[in-house]
Chain A
C-alpha cells in the first residue's frame, strides 16, 4: 500500500518535472523583457555580463524616459478608447444578432448564421488593403475612429458566435413561461435570457477587449501620426530610432503596453480558459 502511494507521488513529481520546459518556454520571454527594462544601460550592453540576472542596481530610468520623453500616455489613451468603444459596440450588436440566431425563426436565418461563421474565420490580413480605401472614403484616414469602426468586423462575428452557444444553453421553457405571462420578446431577452447568460457576456467582453487591444495590422495601416496610433503601434514603430541604446525603453514599453491585459487576465483567468475552448468548439 505504502509503495503504491510512493509510486503515485513519484509519478506526480515526474509530471511536474516534465512541465518545467514548457513553463520556461512560456514565461522566459516575459521574464527577460521585464529584466531588460530594469537594467542599467551599462550592464545591458556589457557583453561579458550574465544576461539572465540583474547584478548591478536595478533602475527605473527606462520607464521614466518612456513616460516623459515619448507620447506613451497618448498611445495608451488611444488604445483604451478604441478598445472600450469597439468592445461595447460589438457586444451590443453581437448580443442581439446571437439572440436572433439562437432563438428566433425567420427568413434566411440559416444562411445568416453561415455568413457570421465565415467572417469569424476571415483573417484581418486578407482585407486590410481595400479596407484602407473604405476608411479613406469615410473620411477617417489617420484617425483612431477608423479603428473603432473597423474592429467590430472581427469582434462582432466572434461575440455572436460565442454568445449563440451560451444562449442555446438557456432552457427555452424559462423564456416561454415569461412570454405566456405577457412579457414581450424583448423583455424576455432583457430580464430572463441575459441575466442567465452573464458568464457568456463577461467572456465575450473579455475576449473582445483582448482581441482589440492586441490588434496590430489595422492599427498600423489606418493610423500613422503620433496622436492617433495605439500602444502596440507606437511602441513598435516610434521607439525604434536606429540608435542602439533603446532596448531598455522598448522593453519597458512592451511591459507597460501589456499591463491592462495582464490585470484582466489575473482576475478572470477561468473565463479566458472557458472562452478559449468555447470559441473554437461551439
Chain B
C-alpha cells in the first residue's frame, strides 16, 4: 500500500508538484528574494569590496594594480585639496542640515494651519524636491552668474547690496554659501512635508488641555509640539545627513569644487581624482570616507526606527 502511494505521488504531473512546492513558505520566500539578492550582491556588495581593494592599491585607469597598503590615505592627508574637502564636507553638511531643520519645522508649523489653497501650496513647496537636481541647479547657476546675477540685481535694487554685489561662485565663502543655499532649497520640502506628517498625528486634546491650563502658543510649541515630533525629527535629520554628506549634483553643476577646492565634497573630489586624473585607487579611498557616516546613520536608524517595525 505504502509503495503504491509513493508511486502515485511520483506520477503526479510536474505542474502539480511545482505548484505544491511553490506553496511552501520555505521555498517561495527564498525564490522571491533571489532576484533582489542577486542584484545587490553583484552590483552593490561586490563593487563595495572592489572599492575596499582599490583604496589600498595603486589602481590607475587601464593599468594592472598592486597592493600599496595605506599609501593612498597617507597621500590624501598630505594633499591640501583633500584636507580642504574634509573640512568642507562637515561645514556643508552641518550648516545645510541645521538650516533645513529650523526652516523645515517653521514651514511645517505654517502648513499645519488652516489654509485656503492647501493642496496648491503643498504642491508648490514640494516642487524643488521632485525636479531633476542637475537641471534646477543649472537655474541657480544662472541666478549666481557673475555678470547677470538676478540675486545681485534684486539685492542692489532693494539696497541690501553695494553694486556690483558679490561674485557668488568665484569667492570662497560666497561659493560655500551658494551651494548650501541650493542644498537647503532642494532638501527643505522633504523636511517640511515629513515633519508636517508628524505634526498632524499629535492628538488635538493635548493642545486643548494645555490651553485650559493657561499655556500660551510658545509654551505649547516647546512643551507639546517639539517633544511629540522628536522621533520624526531624528529620522529626518539622519536621512538628510547621509544624503547631504554624499551630495554630488549641486556642487558638480554649480562650482565643480571651486574656487580652489573651497566647495569640493568627497563625491566631487573622488570623481575628479578617480576619473579625470585616472587615479582610481585614490578616488576610491576618498569615496570610502562616506562609509563611516553611512554606518553611523544605519546604526542609529536600526536602533531607533526598526525597533518599531520588527
Q: Which residues of A contact B (CB under 8 A)?
A: 11-12, 15-16, 18-19, 22-23, 25-27, 29-30, 32-33, 36, 44-45, 47, 50-52, 92-94, 96-97, 99-101, 104-107, 109-110, 112-119, 121-134, 149-150, 152-153, 156-157, 160, 184-186, 210, 213-214, 216-217, 220-221, 231-233, 235-236, 247, 250-251, 253-254, 257-258, 261-262, 265-266, 269-270, 272-273, 276-277, 280-282
Find the residue from B43, B143, B147, B287 having the highest chain A CB count within 10 A. Answer: B43
The reply to whether A104 and B29 contact each other, CB–CB distance below 8 Å, is yes
Quote the shortest CB–CB distance from B153 to chain A (angstroms).
5
Residues of B within 8 A of A266 (CB): 123
Docked complex: B246-281 residues within 8 A CB-CB of A: 246-249, 252-253, 266-267, 270-271, 274-275, 280
Nearest A residue to B288, CB-CB: A126
Task: Give bound CA distance, A16 to B120, whole Å.
Answer: 13
Quote the shortest CB–CB distance from B171 to chain A (angstroms).
20
The reply to whether A121 and B29 contact each other, CB–CB distance below 8 Å, is no
The reply to whether A134 and B43 contact each other, CB–CB distance below 8 Å, is yes
Task: Give bound CA distance, A115 to B194, whole Å.
Answer: 24
Task: Report if A25-B185 is in contact (Cβ < 8 Å); known contacts: A52-B150, A247-B142, A277-B194.
Answer: yes
Q: Which of A29, A118, A153, A247 contacts B140 (CB 8 A)?
A: A29
The reply to whether A129 and B138 contact each other, CB–CB distance below 8 Å, is no
The reply to whether B131 and A100 contact each other, CB–CB distance below 8 Å, is no
- B210 near A: Cβ within 8 Å? no
In the assembled complex, 18 residue pairs joining A and B whose CB atoms fall closer than 8 Å, in A order, are: A19-B121, A29-B128, A30-B127, A93-B39, A96-B32, A106-B30, A112-B37, A123-B290, A125-B247, A126-B287, A129-B287, A130-B50, A156-B36, A184-B23, A216-B248, A251-B138, A269-B126, A277-B193
10 further contact pairs, Cβ within 8 A, besides A22-B110, A30-B136, A123-B242: A25-B188, A100-B30, A117-B301, A119-B40, A121-B239, A254-B136, A254-B139, A261-B130, A265-B123, A277-B197
- B119 near A: Cβ within 8 Å? yes
Task: Report if A156-B246 is in contact (Cβ < 8 Å); known contacts: A27-B124, A47-B147.
Answer: no
The reply to whether A129 and B124 contact each other, CB–CB distance below 8 Å, is no
The reply to whether A118 and B298 contact each other, CB–CB distance below 8 Å, is yes
The reply to whether B197 and A100 contact each other, CB–CB distance below 8 Å, is no
Residues of A within 8 A of B81 (CB): none
Nearest B residue to A22, CB-CB: B107
Residues of A within 8 A of B249 (CB): 216-217
Task: Give bound CA distance, A171 to B306, whole Å.
Answer: 21
Quote the shortest CB–CB distance from A265 to chain B (angstroms).
5
Quote the shortest CB–CB distance from B212 to chain A (angstroms).
17
The reply to whether B242 and A51 contact each other, CB–CB distance below 8 Å, is no
The reply to whether A51 and B150 contact each other, CB–CB distance below 8 Å, is yes
- Mark B88-116 against chain A: 1 for CB-CB distance below 8 A, else 0: 00000000000000010001001101111
The reply to whether B287 and A36 contact each other, CB–CB distance below 8 Å, is no
Nearest B residue to A217, CB-CB: B248
Task: Report if A33-B148 is in contact (Cβ < 8 Å); known contacts: A97-B32, A129-B270.
Answer: no
Task: Give bound CA distance, A30 to B290, whole Å.
Answer: 32
Residues of B within 8 A of A276 (CB): 126, 129, 189-190, 193-194
Find the residue from A121, A186, A258 having the highest chain B CB count within 10 A. Answer: A121
Nearest A residue to B236, CB-CB: A280
Task: Give bound CA distance, A33 to B239, whole Å.
Answer: 29
Q: Which of A117, A186, A235, A282 contacts B138 (CB 8 A)?
A: A235
Instruction: Identify the 6 closest CB pairs spanning chains A and B, nearest first.
Output: A106-B29, A123-B246, A125-B267, A130-B50, A100-B32, A104-B29
The reply to whether A109 and B140 contact each other, CB–CB distance below 8 Å, is no
Docked complex: B275-305 residues within 8 A CB-CB of A: 275, 280, 283-284, 287-288, 290-291, 294, 297-298, 301-302
The reply to whether A214 and B133 contact each other, CB–CB distance below 8 Å, is yes
The reply to whether B139 and A30 contact each other, CB–CB distance below 8 Å, is yes
Residues of A within 8 A of B150 (CB): 32, 51-52
- B22 near A: Cβ within 8 Å? yes
- Mark B26-39 against chain A: 1 for CB-CB distance below 8 A, else 0: 10111011011101
